[in-house]
Structure 1
Amino acid sequence: MSARTHAQSGPDQGEFDHRMAVFGSDDEFVAAALPFLAEGLAAPDEPPPVAIAAPAALGLLRDALGSDAGNVGFIPHTDWYTGSAANAVAQGAAYLAAHAGPGGRIHLLMEPDWAGRAGSSPRETAEWIRYESLANLLFAPLSTTAMCAYDTRTAGPALVEAARRAHPGTGVYEPPPALVRELDAVPLAPAPDDAASLPAPTAEALRAWSADHGLPPAAAELFSTAVTEAASALGPVAGALLWGRAPSCVCELHLPHRVADPLAGFVPPPTGEPAPGQGLWFTRQVCAYVDVRDHAGGSTVRIQYA
């Protein structure tokens, strides 16, 4: 199987260039990565390109680059992809703010950690495709060039085919709102019959419930803050349900209106580290899952701590 890349090179100012490389062997990975890194090395007004990949893949690139390896950054993907898809948004935004050239110019070769969280379940696959799709909107104002590396030996054919729909130039690309709406059309499992009803999701009530259901004090505080941040950002809230036990405590907010915005909670705030006062962004950063489902009577926002 030959390596296949889909790309348009040389983004204009403010045009995020989001590419995809698909490969099934070490040789194909190197064949796709080397021209991309060479393009970054030759690009004016850019810092050195960066490869974010599995440690073994980085070793292959160092050997293939030879003397040019000293002009390329290398980051093990286990250091970059350390949490949820929302965490990956934060990591990328922070890195670009700190290291990119004018207008966000930099070449990033990015291989997700499919042996870690990103490839652990169909649920995580859907979260990852959502991130890949929303990246086209989130980073649209920047002149960043990113090539996402998909290894069919670890990512699997279903994930690769889904990812093609999130990358321009693949022939099957779908605009983010359409693809995200499709992901959000998958119904959530119903809340259990024994879920506790909470008319108003106050921090005090949430902390008490969380403690009763096994979360240690620090985690109970974080979970209650995450829920109240979401409620404050998206309110008014018509009521809430709580269920589960530590660490998988869940709060479901019921809103009498639709959220509608596919980027809700994904746009990084001006500050760096997640902190209270950042609304749904904070919630997405500190919780494992935040599912938003719009329906005829409003919206359901389901927040799962871990």
Structure 2
Amino acid sequence: MRTGPAAGTEGYHHEAAFHGSDEELLAVTLPFVREGLEVGDLTMVALADRESEVVRRALPRADAVHWISASRRYETPASAIRRYREQFVEAVEAGRTQVRVVGNVPHPGYGAPWSGWARYEAAVNHAFATLPVWSLCCYDTRITPRAVVADVVRTHPHLVTPDGGREINAAFVAPEELLVEGLAAPLPAEPGPPALVLDDPSPAAARHALLATVARLDHDEREDLVLALSEIVDNAWVHGVPPVRVAMWTGDRTVVTVTDTGVGPSDPFAGLLPAEGSATAGLGLWMAHQLGQEVSLHRGPEGFTVRMTAGPS
């Protein structure tokens, strides 16, 4: 039987809590975790290292909690969705009636880009919709930018106040609407002209050009970017509209864009969730999102662009 505000319901219960001190963080998270352990829910904590340690020190039964490294779990939005879903399904198959998760995702307050994680916070409402999961997403207002707070409010159906009060969020926006809106975001301005431009390259030609052009990335970053580029170029040829253009910038960070003249995928969750028979979604787009670089999608006057960034933030 489910407990807490999700009692008597089915599917995903997605909450956001804002805190301005460690005391407020504990006031919200400790009852959530303690009750989960008492009733036998699988209870996970996937907070950033410092917040995780604050909660751990305050718990008398810390060993009973399933602690998850946030830096490993939140490598990319799509891989986080995949791994969480695998754990949730496994827990349900093992007989759990509810899974609880306390977490916080990367954002500029932690030195990380936000756009992909804004998509994540919207998409999980759909990705976990049928699963008996109650998640509490904690955001520290001392380090969370206002623009991130605004996105968090729009992506969470339920809000938790610092004193533990709970309310339905009237400002919540359907994930499909937010993801389509995000596609219209303009491409960031790059630092000068590209180091290399390829017109209508094959996936193999794009791979070879990237290897010959990029030198600053470590081996794993370079291999991930090469594989992602190959998948995205193939996706552009199979699901997009030619011509296909690849551009590369090799400054402090490596940036690669792949543009075709189509409108992009019709599925707003493309890239974040596996393709399911859609003629425009493309498995390659999802595979590229699993790898270790930042990926963003843009729909503009020139067509549909996938932008990949690798290297130090």
- TM-score scaled by length of structure 2: 0.76
2:152 aligned with 1:152? no
* Distance (Å, rounded) in 1 between the aligned partners of 2:301 and 2:96: 41
Q: 1:223 to 1:19 in 2, by over 3 A?
A: closer
Larger RCO, structure (CA 8 Å, separation 6 or more): 2
Matched, 1:302 2:306: yes
1:42-57 equivalence runs, <5 A:
42-43=38-39, 47-57=41-51
- What runs of 5+ residues in structure 1 fail to find an aligned partner? 1-6, 271-276
Does the 8 Å contact 1:232/1:279 carry over to 2? no
Distance 1:230 1:105, change over 3 A: farther
Which amino acid counterpart does residue 174 of structure 1 have in structure 2? V
Match of 2:181 in 1: 182
Mean alpha-carbon deviation: is it higher for 188-197 or for 225-234? 188-197
Aligned length: 283
Aligned pairs for 1:158-197 within 5 A: 158-168=147-157, 169-189=168-188, 196-197=197-198
1:4 — aligned with what? none
Structure 1 contact 20–150 (Cα < 8 Å) conserved? yes
Conserved in 2, the CA contact under 8 Å of 1:236 and 1:255? yes
Cα deviation, residue 250, structure 1: 1.0
Partner residue, 2:56: 62
Tell me the alpha carbon deviations over residues 178-226 of structure 1, each in whole angstroms, 9 at most, x when there is no partner.
Answer: 2223322221147876552422x31221122113312578467424433
Measure, in 2, the Cα distance between the counterparts of 1:295 and 1:19.
33
Q: What corresponds to 1:19 in structure 2?
A: 15
User: 2:139 aligned with 1:142, yes or no?
Assistant: no
Contact 2:77 2:272 in 1 (8 A): no
Aligned-pair CA distance for 1:42: 4.4
**Structure 2 SS opposite 1:279:** helix
Alpha carbons 2:183, 2:297 under 8 Å: kept: yes
Distance 1:232 1:10 in 2: 48
* 1:282 CA displacement: 0.7
Q: CA RMSD in A?
A: 3.2
CA distance in 1, matches of 2:144, 2:87: 25
1:107 match: 100
* Sequence identity percentage: 23
How far residue 90 of structure 1 moved from its aligned partner, in angstroms, is 2.9
Residue type at the aligned position of 1:264: A
Query: How far apart in 2 are the matches of 1:141 and 1:293?
Result: 29
SS at 2:6's partner residue?
coil
